[in-house]
Amino acid sequence: MNILLTHGYFLEEDEKEKLIMKPYVPLGILYISAWLSRNGFENEVFDSTFSSFEKLKTKLTEKRPEILGIYVNLMTKLNVLRIMEFIRNTPALSHTRIVLGGPEVKNHVANFMNHGADIIVLGEGEESMAEIAAAFSKSADPDLSGIAGIAWKNKSGETIMNEPRQLLKEVDALPFPDRSKIDLHLYLDAWKKHHGQSTISVSTMRGCPYTCKWCSRAVYGLSYRRRSPELVADEMEHIREKYKPDMIWFVDDVFTISHKWLREFADEIEKRKLELPYEIITRADRMNEEVIDLLVKSGCRRVWIGAESGSQKIIDAMDRRVDVKQVSDMIRLSQQKGIQAGTFIMLGYPGETQKDIRETIRHLVSSDPDLYTITVAYPIKGTPLYEEVESRFIQQPDWAKSTDRDIDFERSFPRKYYDYAVRWVYNEVAFSKSRKNGHWMKMPIHKLKSLAARGGMFLSKMM
């Protein structure tokens, strides 16, 4: 069985990400790879991140895989369509069966099928991919009707949706993602060169039990399943011995969701004297002084605490179920305990007014996070936000030439307004930081940029 896995993300083609330069290892396909290997199916991973579309085409024509598994998310969708088009127009690859998985496929099954996919894995992919490989190892044209959690085309060309697959109950059954299948040092070197510290990503949990309206739960659903602290520590020890990174980046949505798990994890780290700094994402309502002390004890050096807005009205509209004051309190308390604190901000959410944006500025100035990021809200298909604004779409480009990021909808103000609003927020916060830190020469520059952004907001609103 000739199996190739890839993900279709080419860093060299992404100008914005080249500036940020924080490439993340494709953990999803490395978990799939490890699971296939455990079940006796040899496989190869083509890591496209530091490669190119041309090199992938060469790999495909040389290897001529029987099964090509591709992970698809919002960022890689258009490249995946390019890859499928190449395969379908290459006679030497006419036997290749294209299997898609990942968060982007569940709500676009018909479109992906119409553009060349043979099988779509819905939800978690490990068990489904192993069963698909087993079916094709016995027949070039197997009956796939008994494989749960997939969509596929029968001999008549009809798309068949099989019954859903149950989520893995025991995630401790998962092998470590097979990082040996890629050149991990390319990631380590990129992080070290651009950010001063090399980083490796690790997952300790699957799913999220919270209901934020803009967040997609297409793969793991509304669930919470956690690997044991012992197994996580085992993986960290393996990573430290083999790759010697400066930090671990835990990719979990809410790292401190279980305080019991965190206590056991901190104890395990202390018992093993496993000194390996790490970074996490979490929620303010799952933090307190004890939690922060446990994070410090176990090596946490940076925590990202989701806020999304400084306006409680907008936070409630998002169904975030968190108090903006608590976010500020946890940012400050983390900093007091020696942990660097970051936060996330989203502008342009339905119903947001200029007053709400001003409250966001006050929140950032008051809580004074070490780091923060800003995005402009966009609706991802399958989320409550998408359903809420679908009737108000202004622009929905051709599916095959766009992503959900390109969808615009009627907001309080025109879309361009929020681009200026992002600049307003950044410069008002920078002005405040400059004043606080005594950087007097920078203050007038940020204030002028802030005023210019306000002017842009006013003009875009008038137009």
- pLDDT tens by residue, 255-284: 999 999 999 999 999 999 998 999 999 999
Same domain assignment for residues 143 and 277: no
Same domain assignment for residues 147 and 181: no
Residue 432 lies in a domain: no
Same domain assignment for residues 207 and 344: yes
Residue 275 lies in a domain: yes
Mean pLDDT across the chain, nearest whole number? 96
Same domain assignment for residues 151 and 210: no
CATH of the domain at 133: 3.40.50.2300
Q: What is the pLDDT of residues 103-158, one digit of tens each?
A: 999 999 999 999 999 999 999 999 999 999 999 999 999 999 999 999 999 988 89
pLDDT band at 254 (very low <50, low <70, confident <90, very high): very high
CB hemisphere CA count around 275 (13 angstroms): 1
> Does 396 score more than 90 pLDDT?
no
Same domain assignment for residues 131 and 188: no
Split into its structural domains, the chain has a count of 2
Residue 403 lies in a domain: no
Residue 47 lies in domain: 3-161
Residue 33 lies in a domain: yes
In this prediction the pTM is 0.95
Last residue of a domain, one of 161, 194, 226: 161
C-alpha distance from residue 152 to each of 51, 110, 255, 407 (Å): 30, 10, 36, 28
Same domain assignment for residues 136 and 205: no
Same domain assignment for residues 153 and 172: no
Query: What local confidence, expressed as pLDDT, does residue 43 receive?
Result: 98
Residue 89 lies in a domain: yes
Q: What is the pLDDT of residues 196-229, one digit of tens each?
A: 999 999 999 999 999 999 999 999 988 899 999 9
> Does 179 score more than 90 pLDDT?
yes
Last residue of a domain, one of 315, 341, 374: 374
pLDDT band at 311 (very low <50, low <70, confident <90, very high): very high
Q: Cβ distance 80 to 100 under 8 Å? A: yes
Same domain assignment for residues 72 and 30: yes
Question: Which DSSP letter does residue 66 get?
Answer: S
The pLDDT > 90 percentage for the chain reads 95
Question: What is the arithmetic mean of pLDDT over 437-461?
Answer: 96
C-alpha–C-alpha distance, residues 72 and 6, integer Å: 9
Same domain assignment for residues 116 and 196: no
C-alpha–C-alpha distance, residues 352 and 192, integer Å: 39
Residue with tokens 């490796």: 200
Same domain assignment for residues 230 and 248: yes
Query: What local confidence, expressed as pLDDT, does residue 395 receive?
Result: 80
Residue 272 lies in a domain: yes
pLDDT band at 33 (very low <50, low <70, confident <90, very high): very high
Last residue of a domain, one of 118, 141, 161: 161
Query: What local confidence, expressed as pLDDT, does residue 156 receive?
Result: 87
DSSP calls for 445-461: HHHHHHHHHHHHHHHHH
Residue 393 lies in a domain: no
| Residue among 9, 42, 17, 8 nearest 181 (CA) | 42
Residue 254 lies in a domain: yes
Question: What is the arithmetic mean of pLDDT over 395-424?
Answer: 94
Residue 412, classed as helix, strand or coil, is coil
DSSP calls for 86-101: HHHT-GGGTTPEEEEE
CATH of the domain at 184: 3.20.20.70
C-alpha–C-alpha distance, residues 345 and 306, integer Å: 8
Same domain assignment for residues 54 and 39: yes
Of 67-76, 108-117, 388-397, 417-426, the poorest mean pLDDT is in 388-397
CA angle 282, 170, 270 (to 5 degrees): 55
Same domain assignment for residues 186 and 272: yes
C-alpha distance from residue 432 to each of 105, 307, 364 (Å): 43, 20, 10
Query: What local confidence, expressed as pLDDT, does residue 222 receive?
Result: 86
The pLDDT > 70 percentage for the chain reads 100
Q: What Rg, from alpha-carbon coordinates, does the chain have?
A: 23
β-strands 300-308, 278-283: how paired?
parallel
CA 327, 332, 333, 337 dihedral sign is positive
Q: Cβ distance 124 to 90 under 8 Å? A: no
> Does 1 score more than 90 pLDDT?
no
